[in-house]
Chain A
């Protein structure tokens, strides 16, 4: 049973380009979370999605950032017109169901995508 798969592992973009980060959750998991880790900082929540639904995007910048988790295929975090401040490691995590009160359930993390904006 493969873990959470993120690709690419490293992504280099020039300012103004678009970045697409992909996340395939663990088999059987229908809930995906995206986190951003800036240098010298912990992980910051960005967005929580279920299949075809955005549940909580309170941590995601209103401009340039979007996320989706289609019925088929991986979850995509899309950053338009990237700027240098977007350089960070972006982590995806998955769980089998709404964690709600099931906090004892583990959140499974991928190995992240390191985005570098030149």
Chain B
């Protein structure tokens, strides 16, 4: 079974600084997809970034980038130049190449300190 582990229940970062959120996963598949979702207090789940496992290049979306280590089954999210609006719960998620289930981690609550 696929499992996703986020070992940091809470993190904080000073505004304008950089923070890294950790995620590891367990799978026997070779093809899959990884995602980071943001959940602000509004509860809306917002896709932040996604990575295809067959791509070696780390995905980047503006201030958000990932460090994807396939052999280590690690998928961390780096947020640069943190802004107050980045404060939210962040969920790491795994999805097989086929199928419709997402497997989510338990989340990391990020606080941005002004």
Interface residues of A (CB under 8 A from B): 33, 35, 40-45, 48, 55-56, 58-59, 89, 91, 93, 98-101, 103-104, 106-107, 109-112, 114
Residues facing A in B61-114 (CB within 8 A) are 91, 93, 95, 97-107
On whether the beta carbons of A103 and B44 are closer than 8 Å, the reply is no
Question: Contacts A42-B107, A43-B91 hold; do A55 and B100 have CB atoms under 8 A apart?
Answer: yes
Residues of B within 8 A of A99 (CB): 100
On whether the beta carbons of A45 and B101 are closer than 8 Å, the reply is yes
Q: Kindly state the separation between the CA atoms of A106 and B46 in the bound complex, as whole angstroms.
A: 10
Q: Kindly state the separation between the CA atoms of A102 and B15 in the bound complex, as whole angstroms.
A: 36
**Most A CB within 10 A of own CB, among B50, B93, B99, B105:** B99
On whether the beta carbons of B44 and A109 are closer than 8 Å, the reply is yes
Whether B47 is near chain A, meaning CB under 8 Å from some CB there, is yes
Number of A-B contacts (CB under 8 A): 61
Chain A residue at minimum C-beta to C-beta distance from B101: A45
Question: Contacts A100-B98, A103-B97, A104-B50 hold; do A42 and B104 have CB atoms under 8 A apart?
Answer: yes
Which residue from B4, B42, B102, B106 sits with its C-beta under 8 Å from A111?
A: B42
Given contacts A42-B91, A107-B102, 4 further A-B contacts (CB under 8 A): A42-B6, A99-B100, A107-B47, A111-B43
Nearest chain A CB to B21 CB, angstrom units: 13
Residues of B within 8 A of A45 (CB): 100-103
On whether the beta carbons of A109 and B100 are closer than 8 Å, the reply is no
Whether B16 is near chain A, meaning CB under 8 Å from some CB there, is no
Q: Kindly state the separation between the CA atoms of A44 and B2 in the bound complex, as whole angstroms.
A: 12
**Most B CB within 10 A of own CB, among A44, A98, A103, A109:** A103
Residues of A within 8 A of B11 (CB): none
Residues of A within 8 A of B44 (CB): 109-111
Residues of A within 8 A of B33 (CB): 103-104
